[in-house]
Amino acid sequence: MTRPIDHTSIAGKHFPTAEHVALVVLGAGPAGIAAAVEAAGLGVKVMLIDEHPVASALMGIDVPWMFGERMTAAVQNQGRMLEQIVAARPDLQAAFDAGVDVRLGVYAWGAFVEGPTSKALPGSLLGLADEERSWLIRFDRIIVAAGARDLGLAFPGWDRPGVMGAQGFAAATALYGAFSGRRIAIIGSGALAAQVARQAAAAGVAVAATIDATQRITAVLGEAEVEGIAFARLDGSAPASVACDTIVLAVDLVPNVEMFDLLGCKTVFAPEKGGYVPVTDAAGRCSPSVYAAGDCAGICDASIATPARAIASGRNAARLAVADAGHAAPAADPIPPADAADRDAWRRAFLAAHATDRALTICRCEEVPLEDLIGVRPPRYLDYDATKFENRDIRTLAAMGPVNQDQVKRLTRAGMGPCQGRRCREQVQTLLAMQGNQASGDIPMPSYRAPLRPLPLKVINAADETEEMRAGWTTWFGIPAQWLAQWEPAPEGLSWQNRHNRSYEG
């Protein structure tokens, strides 16, 4: 007797894959390029994927970085931007020369791997897309070198066009050569702020002021666009303002761990590494086939200042992956220990200084003010009885167990917008922890979900879907008796007994 299968289920469905790749490297920054070149040099077939140049429409909603609407129209010409990016990353030439299959302008938006609720796949799959279509590839191993994101932190006026992040600024000036501002103010006082100042100097952009941790921003000046910034010392003395057309938020970066979450890898909150980072074994594996390289494994000042650490970690990840695949590879090079600043404390200090006005917008996409976040209020487009919420807030929620950011997200919508939570995820975590008197790491990381980039329906659309997918498609299971009057017995032919007997005939 053959084992019966449920044809309305995923059983027996085939997902077409464009190719089967031994090693994928995700991210063509210093770590990713080094990993790809190293692995290719050791004789492994490598595909190196990077999303830049990204669509200008995504830049408009601050994906993947906070571009602050400070990109020139040049970014609409993707062909030109592709040339620009190859020129800005000269190391890419080494990858081309080593025979790496380099895919630029390709989004890695999904990963589908075996797990407790996913057994039906033929292997590990990656969802890729460009501006026109999406497709799947199968891979054996993956080195994630997805870099860092901008850390969004709210201050009065941070939702104005012209407020951008350090990564957005670096991309606008060095990577795309398409920065539309002329005079910036920098918020931050560490290695990242210094890096922004260096990049500004290199790009010929004036720095009007650097606002450090002893100060707080009191207002962004200007009607619609940024025209200046006003700030004061935290001790209350010496308020000041300067004229500028752009404000670069450079307090810190966040390890970009979204793909690890989809790959089923565990993460842990590490204050000294800038947030949630992948858990690795002693050798550096996140799972038997997933490896982390560069900033996505953790931020440190030394890595912000120079790519040397990222390059070394990329090479080491490649050697590990190559060895795991059964090929000869050199031992890992030593990497100097990272500095161990409490980067979580930077967020807390910034928010303690700035998140004082209860009307301050925290989630920009969904327009959630601080008071609605900590009061767990419904969104304002709903009518509700405000008296019902007088005795409800984050603290009453915390009394029922640890505050869960995904739960708060569902109630307040903070983080549910088109930017996919990039601008508020970390500060919501910090604010919940501060309000609930909890350690930041006690707030479980809100889940990441595919697509990791907002993709149009016509792009994510499975144009390559198989006939059996269409033939076996059912809106909701395929149990005929479910949809017939349940105040009477199921008809003879559709009872479970009949289904059960029929299953033996096959």
Partner 1 sequence: MTSHVVIVGGGATGLSSAFWLRREGVAVTVIEKGIVGWEASGRNGGGATHPYSPLFREEQRLWPMMDDLLGYPTEHRPQRVRIAINQSQLDIMRSTENLAVQQGFKVEELDNKAMRELIPWVGDDVAGGAIYHYGGQANPQRTLQAYAWAVQDLGGTIMQHTVVTGFETAGGKITGVQTDQGLVGCDAVVLAAGPHTSQLAAMLGISVPVVAARAEMIVTEPVPLISVGGSDGNGLYGRQTLRGNLAYGGGPHEWIDLPDHRTPRAVNSPVMRSVARRLFELFPKLGHIRVIRSWAGVIENTPDGRPILERLDSPENVVVASMSSVGFGLSPATGRAIMQLVTQGRCDFANLDYLKLNRFEGLGPNWAEEVGWRPWSPESEEGAA
Of 10-18, 151-159, 226-234, 288-296, which segment contacts partner 1 by CB under 8 A?
10-18
CA neighbor of 276 nearest in space, from 263, 264, 261: 261
What is the nearest approach in angstroms of partner 1 to the Cβ of residue 39? 26
Which is nearer to partner 1, 24 or 251 (by Cβ)?
24
Interaction of residue 471 with partner 1, rule CB under 8 A: no
Which is nearer to partner 1, 124 or 210 (by Cβ)?
124
Map tokens 């200007």 to a residue.
Answer: 222
C-alpha dihedral over 296, 300, 302, 307, to 10 degrees? 10
* CA separation for the pair 307, 301 (Å, rounded): 11
Helix (H) or strand (E) holding 311: helix 308-324
Interaction of residue 469 with partner 1, rule CB under 8 A: yes
Interaction of residue 474 with partner 1, rule CB under 8 A: yes
Q: Return the SS3 of 200.
A: helix
* CA separation for the pair 318, 34 (Å, rounded): 8
- Considering only residues 486 to 505 of the shown chain, the ones binding partner 1 according to CB under 8 A are 486-490, 494-497, 499-500, 502-504
- Considering only residues 158 to 217 of the shown chain, the ones binding partner 1 according to CB under 8 A are none
Which is nearer to partner 1, 237 or 487 (by Cβ)?
487
Interaction of residue 441 with partner 1, rule CB under 8 A: no
Please give the size of the binding site for partner 1, defined by CB under 8 A.
Answer: 94
Helix (H) or strand (E) holding 415: none
Which is nearer to partner 1, 51 or 366 (by Cβ)?
366
Look at the chain and count its residues: 506
Which is nearer to partner 1, 347 or 413 (by Cβ)?
413
Position among 400, 467, 471, 492 found at the interface with partner 1 (CB under 8 A): 400
What is the nearest approach in angstroms of partner 1 to the Cβ of residue 55? 10
Which is nearer to partner 1, 1 or 73 (by Cβ)?
1
H-helix segments, 54-185: 56-60, 78-88, 92-97, 166-170
Contact 298, 338 (CB under 8 A): yes
What is the nearest approach in angstroms of partner 1 to the Cβ of residue 341? 32
Measured at the CA of 273, the angle between CA 271 and CA 274, to 5 degrees, comes to 70
Which is nearer to partner 1, 4 or 99 (by Cβ)?
4
* CA separation for the pair 359, 168 (Å, rounded): 26
How remote is the C-alpha of 324 from its chain's centroid? 27
Q: Return the SS3 of 289.
A: coil
CB atoms within 10 A of CB 502: 11
* DSSP E strand stretches across 10-81: 20-26, 46-50
- Considering only residues 85 to 124 of the shown chain, the ones binding partner 1 according to CB under 8 A are 110, 112, 115-122
* CA separation for the pair 194, 186 (Å, rounded): 9
Position among 86, 279, 416, 434 found at the interface with partner 1 (CB under 8 A): 416
- Considering only residues 305 to 334 of the shown chain, the ones binding partner 1 according to CB under 8 A are none
What is the nearest approach in angstroms of partner 1 to the Cβ of residue 292? 20
Interaction of residue 458 with partner 1, rule CB under 8 A: yes
AA identity, residue 130? D
- Considering only residues 347 to 386 of the shown chain, the ones binding partner 1 according to CB under 8 A are 366, 378-379, 381-385
Which is nearer to partner 1, 81 or 129 (by Cβ)?
129
- Considering only residues 244 to 303 of the shown chain, the ones binding partner 1 according to CB under 8 A are 262, 264
